[in-house]
Structures are given as C-alpha cells and as structure tokens.
Structure 1
Amino acid sequence: MSSLRESFERVSLPAITRLSELPRVIPFLVVIALVVAGVLLPPPGWLLLGVVALLLAWILALAWPRLSRVEKLMRIAVVALMVALLLTQAFPRG
C-alpha cells in the first residue's frame, strides 16, 4: 500500500519530467511573466498570481522532505509573499 506522499509524487512525475526537460530559464521566465501580468492586468488578473502561488506551493510540497530547515523557511516565505500579493490585488483598499 502506497502512502499519500508516494501517490502525490507519482502523480506529479509526468509534469516534473516535462519541466526538467526545459531549459532552466524558461520556467523562471514564465513565473516572472505571470507575476508581472497578475500585478499589471485589471481584475481578474490576480488569478494569475493564484496560479503562481499554487505552482510554488506544489513544488515546495514535492521538495519538502529534502530541504533543510532554512530552505523550508525561505520557500514558505516566498509562497506567503505570493499569497499576500494575490490578496492585495484581489481585495484592494478604497
């Protein structure tokens, strides 16, 4: 019987394989483009920030067992920053 973690990794394997075949700069540029578009586009452009937050959380969950405590904290901070940016774009003041 496989664990939930093994199932998660098995389901993620095709997408991770495709990502690893790309030049390293391509996923980075896609994430940057989604963040910039999510900030600059009018509502519902913030949905793009949600895509980025989910993508980063997914990668964090896959890498979690192999990360040191400091690496975990840094990556949690990045995901939290994306969620904060998403919330400020989705629910602006005034």
Structure 2
Amino acid sequence: MSPLRESFERASAPVLQKLAGLPRAIPFLLVLGLLLAGVLIPGWGWILVALVTLFLLWLLFLGWPRLTPPERVMRVAVVAIAAAITVTQAFPR
C-alpha cells in the first residue's frame, strides 16, 4: 500500500469510526435527504448534490482495494450518476 493511501486512511479513520457508531439508517437518510434537497432546490441545490458526490467518492476510494470487480463497477456507476446530476444542476441549459 502506498504511503499516500495509508495517510489518507489514517486521516479518515476518526470520521469512519463516528459513522460506524451511528445507527445504519442515519447516514443513509442524511445522504438521501441531501440528494433530494439538492435536486429539488433550484439554483444552488447542486452544491448539496456535489457534497453527496464527494462523500460517495471518498467512500469508494477507501473501499476500493477490498471490492470485487462487480462491486467496483456498481459503485463507480453510482458516483458517475451523482456527478452527472451535479453537472446538470450546476449548468442548466
């Protein structure tokens, strides 16, 4: 494992421990609420979707070495969809 990855995982550990201590529904509902609010709020709502996208990207990066190829594809697809929503919200026609 690279030193950069190790330092990133070490820096992320306290936040992950706090997330793991929460009931499972809380992070899910928070992400869902931010995503829905971001889609429904005109104008600056894309910022909320961007936060969700960054959070999902962070989790993807941390879990990447332990994921199987099909899991990687599915998680990359979810991040790509969230990124597409962010871009379409930020730069409407």
TM-score band w.r.t. shorter chain: over 0.9
Unaligned runs of 5+ in 1: none
Shift of 1:43: 1.1
Report the counterpart of residue 4 of structure 1 in structure 2.
4
The aligned runs of 1:1-94 (5 Å cut-off) are: 3-93=3-93
**Coordinate RMSD, CA, aligned:** 0.9
SS in 2 for 1:39: helix
> Counterpart amino acid of 1:91?
F
Structure-1 separation of matches of 2:78 and 2:17: 23
Shift of 1:92: 1.0
% identity of equivalent residues: 57
Instruction: Return structure 1 stretches of 4+ with deviation > 6 angstroms.
Output: none
What is the TM-score when the length of structure 1 is the normalising length?
0.95
Structure-2 separation of matches of 1:62 and 1:40: 30
Structure-2 separation of matches of 1:43 and 1:17: 34
**Number of positions where the alignment pairs a residue of Structure 1 with one of Structure 2:** 92
Shift of 1:45: 1.0
SS in 2 for 1:42: coil
> Counterpart amino acid of 1:44?
W
Structure-2 separation of matches of 1:77 and 1:42: 25
> Counterpart amino acid of 2:76?
I
> Counterpart amino acid of 1:64?
W
What is the TM-score when the length of structure 2 is the normalising length?
0.96
